[in-house]
Structure 1
Amino acid sequence: SVNSSVSDAAVLKYQRAMKDGAIVNLNAVGDRSYLSRGFTLSKSVPVEIYAVGEGWKGEMFDYGWLIDANTRQKVWQMRYDKTDHAGGAIKNRVERETINLAAGDYLLYFKTDDNHSHEKWNANPPYDPEFWGVAIFPKDKNFDESILSDYRDEKEKALLSLIRVGDNEYKESGLSVEKSGKFRIYALGEGRDGEMYDYGWITDVETGKTVWKMDYRKTEHAGGANKNRLFNDLVYLDKGKYIVHYKTDGSHSYNDWNSSAPYEPDKWGISIYQAGKDVVAKEINSSNLKAENVIAQLTRVGNDEHLRRRFTLDKTTQIRVYAIGEGDWDEMYDYGWIENEETGRKVWQMRYRSTEHAGGAKKNRLVDTIITLDRGTYTVHYVSDDSHSYNDWNQSAPYKEIDWGITLYRIN
């Protein structure tokens, strides 16, 4: 009838007016969508977030979230336990939440799975189908639109980014922290059953120690296949110089996915963001970084090699020995040792019973110990057999494959 036609038109007009009044909106979202839109606020403002999506038994499938564009910190996320029934099928969920947004740059996201959306419903739609998605409205009816502007995430705000990493790749870069503080680490990788296969880690240049590693238990689902994992949290770094590392295995990486890609495929890798205004840090060339306290280093050892390096100590010295090699059943195949040049005697040797698992295949072994050597001249050796070594692995590589070999550090 004419009356119902007018009624439908009035509803659509009202909905358009609602959307026009939003600070930002991602609505009428279809299947398999991953949408984002940025905005900038020059002043703090209270807002209402209105989101309609799909969820069932505590899990959301179509949902939105909001992040700080500069730090990547989540400001808001649509969570099942905060939603109500949105009408129609019980899996239709709605959330209305009022929050205060500080002045800054923001990115709003909404993602959907492969069914039940504004494009095509496989069950009864919600009461408000045109708002399937997320919208942010000002709470103040007299909202000053001059404080709002568009934001485009074109300029990479990260202090350091190792992203778009492909199969069998290793990337690294240096980070100089001039003032201690917290940093946001945003790392996307591959993992399952408690183990990571594509992941990042950070080492201290002076000590060689790993100060942070992408741990499966501290990751969350990154969208797409369950094995897509995300670490998004704050990490404290002391003043100093660091190397940021990222490695991948031979499958499922940027532009060559063997399962569904994550929501942010371009971010596959690791990015580090400044979390506070007072933190001072910058990216530096890692090739120029070498610990001043490294006495000797034989690393990235290949098949059938016997490497050696002589060093002299002018006084009794405590030394940290860090070695990665191959071994099983109480026997080592790729390993290191130290000889006293004057006596020809071995003063230290990498033995299986003193090692621990180095990540990857069980035969990857690690020793990280402190020894004391008297004044004198020594030679450090490293020998490898004909298989499973740096850049030629016959099973999964260790976590720190570039350190395959032995490194000696002087302890100050």
Structure 2
Amino acid sequence: MSRTSLVRWQLLVLAVLTLLVGLRACQRRAEAPHAITLFADMAPGMLYHKVLHVEQPVRLRWKGIGAWRRTASGPEPVAYGWVLRRSDRQVVWQMQPRDVDDPPRFRVQDTLRLAPGVYDVFFTTQGNVSQPNGFWSWLFPKASWMRGYRDWGLWAEVLDGPASLRLEEGSPAAPAGPALLWTAAPMASASSRMALLEVRRPTRLLVYAVGELQAQPADYGWIERLPDGERLWEMRRENTQPAGGWEGNRMARDTVEFMPGVYRAWFQTDAAHAFGNWRFNPPFDVAAWGLTLWRLHPEDTSVVLLDPWVSRRPLLMLAPVGNAENRQVEFSARDTTEVLLYAVGELGTRNRRYDYAWLTDSLGTTLWKMERARSVPAGGHPNNRLEVAALRLPPGRYVLHYQTDDSHAYEDWRNGRPEHPERWGVTLFPLRPGRDTLIVHAASTSAPSVAPPSPPVQTTGALLVDLTRVRNNEHREQAFTLTQPTRLRIRAVGELSLSGQYDYGWIEQAGTGEVVWEMTWQHTKPAGGDGRNRMADTLLTLPAGTYIAHFRTDFSHAYGQFEYPEPHEPEAWGLRIERIDQ
């Protein structure tokens, strides 16, 4: 090709490009005054969002291109957009596959009039079927509906002259409004939130919940009356309806009646498919994932959020607690008493406890103990947890305990400090104000972990021997004297197998060394956790005389250093003897 021909071809190509650019510019100029591009150039596996502010009534023509797939029930949209009115959380428009002649793509064109207000505009490309991701995802073919994703988009055109519209970036807003009482939304994966409600007069609340329900509840909530835990309302498949998007998304909008009393509202999520971590197409009301409570009238004061630190006077307090402490306080209830236990501590996953509280009765039976599954974040590090327990205590004697390990406690935060560091510990409040029927007897702090043999204890009280919280490589013993034949309750937790005794206890007669009771596999039952964790709970009558109780541990798996799953009552590791006959 000659130099002259090459120049001519170049001029021709340049002229064609100039013409195309000019046509595109003319098209943009024709659309510019009243056209809005909301979403374009999108990718699969995403959720897109913008906020539309409408300052005066406007009529819009909506145009969209999305994707669908065939199902047994008909065409199902998998990439599409919708508009949510923020004031009442209602969907005012959504893309539906009507034109399905060009699979997997579909087009929509609708006219919609919007009143003044704020609207959340979404476009999802997540799909409703799990897609492979990660390094090896390139080995798997993409779903057919993802073809043509470069065409996906959503546009709006103003039809009735200039309008006061403003489009901006921003995060979806949680439920709000003047009548809002409380919301847990939006909730991320593997989280829990709760609120205490005090109802002073009969009233009704609007309960709004968005979550995940399949064969088993995954992300759901309930409202329970305290202290009995009876559920007044619960999110179930039967009282919910589709929430848009994936079939597991469900929503409930109920009006619930409340009688005077104290209630707990609770919502929890599992480790998948929640706000900010959508595995499939999200619900229409994305930011309402969780539980929301509204008063029917903003001025209604018959129900308020209950903060015991504001509206109650503490009856007992073991807080704040520093590192390596073991505190306890003994108290009595004169009458049946309803209490709130407010505990802040360090609880890890897999039921690992580092700093925690528990309550026992006069015989050492654990009535309550902090559990991560019943707690909510306390601020700071994820292991900082808050649990509020409501109990009905019959008349009797009780011991409230709190224990910390050697790191991350009050005034020595190794990780993020909690929101209220001064509450690190446990505090007991009355469930209802003015109901104080408790008598505090004594409080104590931690003792050395390796205790010397104790002197004989006369049988003037119920507790004769306390050889609990025994650590590795210890041999503890305590003598006690009975002045007459006495019926005893022996409780022991240790490590046994069919072939050996590792951490175990026994009782021998002083002077002769005769063993009158011994902890064996045959006379114990599982204590929870590892299969070698065993518990004995025995009634035994001994004649008058002096006896020595022993508990011995080997070099591994004991209180404070469980190498395998710990028992249900780790603080009971050891031996305890109570007198039954008074």
Do these two structures clear the TM 0.5 threshold for a shared fold by scoring above it? yes
CA RMSD of aligned residues (A): 5.7
Deviation, 1:376, is: 2.5
Structure 2 residue matching 1:147: 3-state secondary structure: coil
Q: Which has the higher contact order (CA 8 A, sep 6+)?
A: 1
- Distance verdict in 2 for CA 1:19–1:283, change over 3 Å: same
Whether the 8 Å CA contact 1:118–1:130 is kept in 2: the answer is no
- Identify the residue that residue 97 of structure 1 maps to in structure 2: 254
Structure 1 residue matching 2:444: 3-state secondary structure: helix
- Distance verdict in 2 for CA 1:320–1:46, change over 3 Å: closer
Which of 137, 147, 153 does residue 307 from structure 2 map onto? 153
Deviation, 1:390, is: 3.7
Whether the 8 Å CA contact 1:71–1:275 is kept in 2: the answer is no
For residues 234 and 117 of structure 1, what CA distance do their matches in structure 2 show? Answer: 30
Q: 1:286-336, CA deviations, whole angstroms, 9 ceiling, x for partnerless residues?
A: 539x99222333344444444433333222222222333333234324433
Amino acid at match of 1:406: L
Q: 1:311-365, CA deviations, whole angstroms, 9 ceiling, x for partnerless residues?
A: 3322222222233333323432443333333544333333343233333333333
- Identify the residue that residue 10 of structure 1 maps to in structure 2: 116
Residues 132-281 of structure 1 correspond to what in structure 2 (within 5 A)? 136-139=293-296, 143=297, 145=299, 147=301, 151=305, 153=307, 155=309, 174-180=330-336, 197-198=352-353, 202-205=359-362, 207-211=363-367, 236-244=392-400, 274=430, 280-281=437-438
Amino acid at match of 2:299: E
Deviation, 1:99, is: 1.9
Amino acid at match of 2:465: A
For residues 99 and 342 of structure 1, what CA distance do their matches in structure 2 show? Answer: 70
Whether the 8 Å CA contact 1:116–1:122 is kept in 2: the answer is no
- Identify the residue that residue 261 of structure 1 maps to in structure 2: none
Which of 365, 369, 374 does residue 534 from structure 2 map onto? 365
Deviation, 1:200, is: 6.7
Any stretches of 5+ residues in structure 2 without a counterpart? 1-33, 35-56, 61-111, 120-172, 378-384, 416-421, 446-456
For residues 129 and 306 of structure 1, what CA distance do their matches in structure 2 show? Answer: 59
- Work out the number of aligned pairs and report it: 385
Any stretches of 5+ residues in structure 1 without a counterpart? 224-228, 258-265
- Distance verdict in 2 for CA 1:9–1:31, change over 3 Å: farther
- Distance verdict in 2 for CA 1:330–1:25, change over 3 Å: closer
- Distance verdict in 2 for CA 1:110–1:165, change over 3 Å: farther
Whether the 8 Å CA contact 2:227–2:338 is kept in 1: the answer is no
For residues 282 and 571 of structure 2, what CA distance do their matches in structure 1 show? Answer: 55
Structure 2 residue matching 1:371: 3-state secondary structure: strand
- Identify the residue that residue 296 of structure 1 maps to in structure 2: 465
- Identify the residue that residue 354 of structure 1 maps to in structure 2: 523
Amino acid at match of 1:84: Q
For residues 238 and 267 of structure 1, what CA distance do their matches in structure 2 show? Answer: 27
- Identify the residue that residue 46 of structure 1 maps to in structure 2: 204
- Identify the residue that residue 214 of structure 2 maps to in structure 1: 57
- Distance verdict in 2 for CA 1:344–1:182, change over 3 Å: same
When Rg is computed on C-alpha atoms for both structures, the one with the higher figure is 2
Whether the 8 Å CA contact 2:196–2:307 is kept in 1: the answer is yes
- Distance verdict in 2 for CA 1:11–1:234, change over 3 Å: same
Amino acid at match of 2:506: W
Structure 2 residue matching 1:353: 3-state secondary structure: helix
Deviation, 1:82, is: 1.0
Whether the 8 Å CA contact 1:184–1:275 is kept in 2: the answer is yes
Deviation, 1:83, is: 1.2
- Identify the residue that residue 490 of structure 2 maps to in structure 1: 321
Whether the 8 Å CA contact 1:24–1:37 is kept in 2: the answer is no
- Distance verdict in 2 for CA 1:76–1:280, change over 3 Å: farther
